[in-house]
Structure 1
Amino acid sequence: MTRLHALLLLLTSLAGGFARAADDDAPAAKYEPREHYTKYEYRVAARDGKKLFTVVYMPKDAGQGGKTYPMLMTRTPYSCGPYGVDNFAVRRLAPSEAFLKAGYIFVCQDVRGRFMSEGTWRTMTPHLDVKRTPQDVDESSDTHDTVQWLLDHVAGNNGKVGLWGISYPGFYAIASVIDSHPAIKAASPQAPIADYYQRDDGYHGGALMLAHNYGFYTGYRPQQTPTVEPRKWHSFDYRDRDAYNYFLKLGNLDAIAASLAGPDGSQPAHNPYFDELVQHDSFDDYWRSRRLPEHLKNIRAAVLTVGGWYDAEDLAGPLSIYRAVEQQNPGVPNRLVMGPWVHGGWMRGIGQQLGAIGFDGKHSEWFQKQLLLPFFEQHLRGAADAKIAEATVFETGTNVWRRYDAWPPRQAKVQSFYLQAGGKLGSSAPTAADAADRYVSDTNRPVPFIAYTALGMPKDYMVGDQRFAATRPDVLVYETEPLEDDLTVAGPVGVELFVASTGTDADFVVKLIDVWPQDAGPEPAQPPRDKAVDVEPPTPAFGGYQQLVRGDPLRARFRHGFDKPEALVPGQVEKLQFELPDLNHSFRRGHRLMIQVQSSWFPLIDRNPQRFVRIRSAKPEDFQVATQTVYRSGAQASRVQLMVVDPARAELPPAK
C-alpha cells in the first residue's frame, strides 16, 4: 500500500467516525404512533343487547408472519375520543411511550351510558354476584362480553388481555376482574374508587367532601347517548374567586345543589348525580350496594394497585382494594405501589414536588419504567419475573422507596401519643382528674382548610403549612418535644377522642402534623401555580413549618355507625373512635409531632350546623355556636395511635 493510499484510507475512516459521532449526538427521531398503529372503531354488543363503543389501535404488523400482541384495555366514562378512525389519540391509552414502542393492541371503551355507548350510566355500578338473566349486567359482565368479542374479531392478538385505568377507569379495571374472563391476565387499578361513601371521593367520616364534589359535578352530567365530545368544553362560572365565601353565602346543601345551574341558568336546574350524593348522606342501601371490596372474589388476574400518598380524591381506595384482593384471593399475585403523588400524578407529572415539599427525584418515570411496564410485560408477554415486592411504598420525610412483604409492615408496633396539659403530646396518659380543653366553634365562621384564596380543592393542601390554623382560638394544638431519633410511621392512624358538646351534633377534625425545626433550611422552592388558585400560594419559610401529614373528620352523629345517625346529648361525654388514612412518613430527628383538633374544615367538608337536623336542608337559625370539650385524663385520655416501624428490620433486600 502506498503512502497515498494509506492516507486516503485514514481520512475515510476518520470521516466515518465523525459521521457516526454526529449521528450519536443528534437528537433521536420523534416517535410517531401513526406510523406504527392503525385505528379501528367498533360497537360491541353486550349480553343485554346494548352497544358499547370500543376503539382499537392495532400495530400495523399484527398478524404478519404470525406476529401477535397482547391487548391493553381502558374502560372510561370520560370519552374514548376523538372519534373517527382518522383522529388519532393512542397516546391517551398508553401508560407511556415505552408501551407504544413495546407494541400492544390498545383498546378503549366508553362505559355504558357515556358518550358513544348505549345504556344508562350509574354511579359506581353495583356488582351482581348472581346473574340470572341477560338483563343482569354490571362492569364485570360488560368487560367479559367485550373481551370475548375482541378475541373473536381482532386478529393478531396473543390471547392475553390487561386492564388499567386511573380514578374512575381504575374502578372499572378492578370491578372487571371479578369472575373475570380467563384471557384477562393482569390488571392495574390506579387511584381506584373502592367505596364512594367511605373515605373516597364522596364522604369522609360522614362529612361531605364539598369543594371536590361540587367542582367535579359542575361538568360531569347525564348524557343522551350516543354523543360525541363537545367541540368546546365550557368552564363553570363561579363568579367568585374564593370558595370559602362562595359556599358560605350559598348556605345549606340544597341551595348549593341548586347553584349548579350556574349564575346565568345555562345548566339544568339540578345535577341528579350531585343530588344523589347529597341525598344519601348516611351509609344506606344506596351506598351499601356500591361498596366494591367485599365483591372482589374469584380473581384470576395478577393485580398491581397504584395510589398516591397525596391523593386528595382516592387515597383510601387503593389501600382498600389491595387489602380485599389479598384477603379474598389467596395465591393470586397481588402488589401495592404507593408513591409521593397526587391523584394520577404518576402519569400526569414527574413526582418531584408538591407545593413547598420536594421529594428528591423524578419518581413517576421510575415507576413507569421499573414497575408498570415490567408488570404487564411479565403477565401479558411472558417476559422475565418483574420482581415487584408485595408493597413498594415511598417513605416521605426521608424521600426513599421501601419494599415490604406486607402492608402495613408486619413488624409495625402501635405506639400511643396522648393529649396532655399545656398543649403537650406525649407517650404517657395524664392522670389528673377531669383534665380537659375547650374551644368555641362558630359554624358561621368555620376554620378554613388552606391559608390562601382558591376555588376547588388545591392539591397542595395535603402538605400545607398549618400555622394559620394553629393561631385560631377554635383549634386545639398539642405537640411533642423535639424528637431525639427518626420516628417512622407506616399504616393507618388510630384516633380516640373523649368529647362533649353543648350542641346536638358536631364534627371533630384531627390533623397529624410534622413540625420542622425553627432553624430548618434551605428555603423551599416556589411551588408551581395551581390553575384553581386565585393567588399564588405563599412560599413559607421552613423554619417552624407545620406540614400537614394526615387529617380527617368524624361527624359525631355517626359515632355508633355510619348507618345510625344519632344526636349528641349536650354535655354528655362520648368516645369517638376512627382512623386517619394510611401513611408512610418519617418524622426526622429534631422535628416535632403535632396534633390539631377542630370542628370545621371549610369548604373541604360541608358545614355541620351543630344541631341534629337534616343537614342538606338546615335553616339559617340551625347553624349554631357550640362549645366543644376534649377530655384527656384517666379513662378519658384522648390519644392517637401510630404504627411505628424500623425500616432497617422490616424492609426486604433489594430485588435482584
Structure 2
Amino acid sequence: MKFTKSFFLPVLFLLVSSLGFAQTEIDFKVEDHYNKREVVIPMRDGINLHTTIFSPKDTSREYPILMTRTPYSSRPYGKDQFRSILGPNEYLMKQGNIFVYQDVRGRWMSEGVYDNMRPFIPNKKGKQIDEASDTFDTVEWLLENVENTNGRVGLWGISYPGFYATYSLLANHPAIKAVSPQASIGDFFFDDFHHNGAYFLSYWRATALFGYEKATPSDTAWYSFPDLKTKDQYQFFLDAGPLKNLDKYYGEDNVFWQQLKEHPNYDEFWQKRGIVQHLKDIKPAVMVVGGLFDAEDLYGPFNIYETIEETGDNFNMLVMGPWSHGDWARKRERQAIGNVYFGDNISENYQKEVETLFFNHFLKGEADASVPLPEAYMFDTGLREWKSYAAWPPKEAEKKTYYLGDKQELNEQVADLSTMAQGAEEFISDPNKPVPYSEDIKMVFTPRKYMTDDQRFAARRPDVLVYETEVLEEDLTLAGEVLAKLQVATTGTAADWVVKVIDVYPPDAEDYEETQDYLSMSNYHMMVRSEVIRGRFRNSFSDPEPFEPNKKTEVNLQLQDIHHTFKKGHKLQIQVQSTWFPLIDRNPQTYVDNIFEAEEEDFKAEKHKVFHDSKIIFTVLE
C-alpha cells in the first residue's frame, strides 16, 4: 500500500469444506436472525445467475453487502433451507451484514456456459461478458433490489471463489469498497494444476469437477469422479504408465482434460486465463490471505499482493499464516500441518482480530488509512509467532547466497569458486522408479500434508542430493523469496528439477500430539518450502527446448516466499531431485513435444549432475 498505516452431495460438501468454508458449532441459528431470498439476476447478455440473499431480520439499521461467487454451489437450495454459518466468519454474521451467494455462470443453478478461469476482456463492447461484468451487473441489481443496504459492497472467497473475488477488483464498480481474495489462483500455469510447466498429476481426479459442462441449471451434481479401486495413488499412477493411458477415464466430453492435453506450454490459451497481469491501479481496499503451507495456491496470494502493490495507492495488505488450504476459515484449537504443531486458536484469532476488523472498517466504518492493521501480517513458522511488517518482503531483509558444495555441504563462504565450479554431484534419475513425494500410502483428492512432511525418507535415497549447513549457532530468519540458480547437466534431453528447503530438527526435539506414530521429531526433516520446474521451460514457458546431452546448463527456479526462523541448534538443508511422484507427472527424460502424448519407450533413466557452483539465494532478516 502507498500510504502509512498504524501497526497494530457428499462429495460436494466434502469439497466445499476442504476449500475452507468454516464448519463450526455455534449457539446461533441463521434462520432466527436472517431472512432468505433466492433470485435470478439477469446479466447484460440475458443469462440469469442464481443468487441467494440473506438479510438481517433487524431492519432498524442499514447493512453492507458481503458477497461470494462460487463454482462449488450456493447450496442449500430452497427457501426454507439455511446455511449453518454465513459469510467469512461467525463474528461478521452475528454483527449483521447482508450476505450474498451466487452460482457463477454455467455452474449449478445458474444459466450459461462455464469457462474454466474465464479470460478477462479489458475493453468489453456491447454484450461481451466476463466475470468482471457479471460481478458489476450483480452488484447493480443488488443495490437496486435489496433493502436496508448502506451502499457498500465487499467480496471474499477462498480458492476458486477467491479467484472470483480477485476478478471483482476489475469490475470497477464504485460500490465495491473491500475485497479479500483468499488462496486465490493468480495464473493457472503456476497454481494448482501446473507449477512452472510441470503437470500436477496429484490433482488429476479434480479434473472431473471442472471438465464436464451442463446444458441447464441443476441442483445436483452432473459430474462423477473416476472409481480407481485402490488406496495407493503411487502404484495406481505408476501402473497406468504414460499420461495418454489416462484417456480411458476422461473422454472428449471432459473439456478441461482436453485443454490440459492440447496446451502443454504457456501459450495464449493459458496466458489469457491469468488474472495477475490485469491488476493495475486497483481502487478497493484489499486484504490478500493465504497459507504458508497451502499446497494448492501459494503462487496466487504472493503475486496478487505484489502486483497490486506495484501500481495501486489503495489499502493493500497481506496475511499469511501457518495454514494449509483454507485453514483460516476453520475453527480448531490446535493448528497443525501434518506432524508439525504451530499453536492454539490461530484461525479464530485471525477471524476475530484481522478479518472482521478489515471488513467492518471499510464497509461500516471510516474506510480510510486509520485502520489498525499492518501492511504484512506474517506468521513465523519456525518461531511460531506473528510478526507485523511495513512492507513485504521486509525492507531491512538482505540477500544471502549459499552454494551447493562438495561433501553435502551448504556453504555461505566459498574459497575458490572457479575450482568449485568444476566439481559436481551426480545421480541416476529413473522415471520408472520415481522419488515419492510422501511416505504415506494414500489416495487423496488433492495433497496437503506433504508441505511439512518429514523428508528423511527422500534424503536416504541415492537419487536425491542433500546439502546442509553445520548446526546453527544462532537463529537464521528467512523472510521473502528463494531463488535456486542451478548449474546442471544430463545425459538425456529432458529433465525436471525439484528443490526443497528443509529445517532439520535437533536430536532432542520432542514429539507433538500430531506426530505420526511411526515417526519422531528427533532429527525431523521438516519441509518448509519446495518447488519444481520442468527443465524444458528454463528459458521460456512458451517456447520449450531440449537439453543438449552432457552440457552444463543453467536452470533458475523461483520458490515461493518463506517466513521461517531456523532456530539455533537446527540445520538448514537443501534437497535436489528430478522426480516427485505422483505429485507431478513423470518426465520421460527424452524430449518430446507434448508429454501428454509420450509413449512408454520415451521414458528412460538418465544420469544427472548438479555442479558445485549451483547456489540458493535467500532473503534473510537479521
Tell me by how many angstroms 1:458 deviates: 3.5
Q: Does 1:484 align with 2:460?
A: no
1:454 corresponds in structure 2 to 442
2:88 corresponds in structure 1 to 95
SS at match of 1:438: strand
Match of 1:642 among 615, 618, 621: 618
2:119 corresponds in structure 1 to 126
Tell me by how many angstroms 1:447 deviates: 0.4
Q: Does 1:249 align with 2:228?
A: no
Tell me by how many angstroms 1:466 deviates: 0.6
| Residues 474 and 231 of structure 1, relative CA distance in 2, 3 Å threshold | closer
Match of 1:38 among 27, 35, 38: 35
Contact 2:116/2:210 (8 A) holds in 1: no
Contact 1:488/1:644 (8 A) holds in 2: yes
Q: Following superposition of structure 1 onto structure 2, how do residues 395-414 of structure 1 map, counting pairs within 5 Å?
A: 395-414=380-399
SS at match of 2:530: strand
1:117 corresponds in structure 2 to 110
| Residues 109 and 240 of structure 1, relative CA distance in 2, 3 Å threshold | same
Percent identity, aligned pairs only? 44
| Residues 557 and 233 of structure 1, relative CA distance in 2, 3 Å threshold | closer
2:324 corresponds in structure 1 to 342
Report the residue type matching 1:639 in the other structure.
K
Tell me by how many angstroms 1:429 deviates: 3.1
Report the residue type matching 2:274 in the other structure.
R
1:321-345 deviations in Å (ceiling 9; x for gaps): 101111121x200011000000001
Tell me by how many angstroms 1:276 deviates: 1.0
Q: Give distance in 1, aligned partners of 2:211 and 2:301.
A: 26
Q: Give distance in 1, aligned partners of 2:209 and 2:403.
A: 44
SS at match of 1:278: helix
Tell me by how many angstroms 1:255 deviates: 1.5
Report the residue type matching 1:411 in the other structure.
E
Contact 1:209/1:606 (8 A) holds in 2: yes
Tell me by how many angstroms 1:234 deviates: 6.1
| Residues 563 and 223 of structure 1, relative CA distance in 2, 3 Å threshold | closer
SS at match of 2:565: strand
Tell me by how many angstroms 1:383 deviates: 5.7
- Bigger RCO of structures 1 and 2 (CA < 8 A, at least 6 apart): 2
Match of 1:358 among 331, 338, 341: 341
Q: Give distance in 2, aligned partners of 1:215 and 1:538.
A: 29
1:617 corresponds in structure 2 to 597
5+ long unaligned stretches in structure 1: 1-27, 261-267, 528-536, 647-656
Q: Give distance in 2, aligned partners of 1:278 and 1:348.
A: 35
Q: Give distance in 2, aligned partners of 1:277 and 1:370.
A: 41
Tell me by how many angstroms 1:538 deviates: 4.9
2:11 corresponds in structure 1 to none
SS at match of 2:500: strand
Q: Does 1:182 align with 2:174?
A: yes
Q: Following superposition of structure 1 onto structure 2, how do residues 545-584 of structure 1 map, counting pairs within 5 Å?
A: 545-584=524-563
Match of 2:411 among 413, 416, 426: 426
SS at match of 2:249: helix
Q: Give distance in 2, aligned partners of 1:572 and 1:285.
A: 31
Match of 1:57 among 54, 57, 62: 54
SS at match of 2:344: coil
TM-score (structure 1 length as normaliser): 0.87
Contact 2:106/2:114 (8 A) holds in 1: yes
1:68 corresponds in structure 2 to 62
Q: Give distance in 1, aligned partners of 2:294 and 2:39.
A: 35
Report the residue type matching 1:56 in the other structure.
I
2:98 corresponds in structure 1 to 105
Tell me by how many angstroms 1:229 deviates: 3.1
Q: Does 1:504 align with 2:493?
A: yes
2:13 corresponds in structure 1 to none
Q: Give distance in 2, aligned partners of 1:186 and 1:326.
A: 15
SS at match of 1:216: helix
1:264-288 deviations in Å (ceiling 9; x for gaps): xxxx665221221232111100011
Contact 1:356/1:539 (8 A) holds in 2: no
Q: Give distance in 1, aligned partners of 2:83 and 2:511.
A: 41
Match of 1:206 among 181, 187, 197: 197
Tell me by how many angstroms 1:61 deviates: 2.4
Tell me by how many angstroms 1:193 deviates: 0.5
1:23 corresponds in structure 2 to none
2:217 corresponds in structure 1 to 227
Contact 2:205/2:225 (8 A) holds in 1: no
Tell me by how many angstroms 1:608 deviates: 0.2
Contact 1:491/1:643 (8 A) holds in 2: yes
2:433 corresponds in structure 1 to 445
Report the residue type matching 1:258 in the other structure.
K
1:31-76 deviations in Å (ceiling 9; x for gaps): 11111111111111111111111110111123x4xx2111000000
Q: Give distance in 1, aligned partners of 2:517 and 2:261.
A: 33
Q: Note the aligned Cα RMSD (angstroms).
A: 1.8
Q: Give distance in 1, aligned partners of 2:519 and 2:371.
A: 41
Tell me by how many angstroms 1:219 deviates: 3.6
In our comparison, the structure showing a higher alpha carbon Rg is: 1
Report the residue type matching 2:427 in the other structure.
Y
Match of 1:628 among 601, 608, 615: 608
Q: Give distance in 2, aligned partners of 1:582 and 1:230.
A: 40
1:230-279 deviations in Å (ceiling 9; x for gaps): 2899664211111111011111122124324xxxxxxx665221221232
1:322 corresponds in structure 2 to 305
1:604 corresponds in structure 2 to 583
Tell me by how many angstroms 1:584 deviates: 0.2
SS at match of 2:425: strand
SS at match of 1:360: strand
Q: Give distance in 1, aligned partners of 2:503 and 2:619.
A: 16
Q: Give distance in 2, aligned partners of 1:83 and 1:167.
A: 22
Q: Give distance in 2, aligned partners of 1:32 and 1:332.
A: 37
| Residues 231 and 427 of structure 1, relative CA distance in 2, 3 Å threshold | closer
Q: Does 1:332 align with 2:314?
A: yes
Q: Does 1:435 align with 2:423?
A: yes
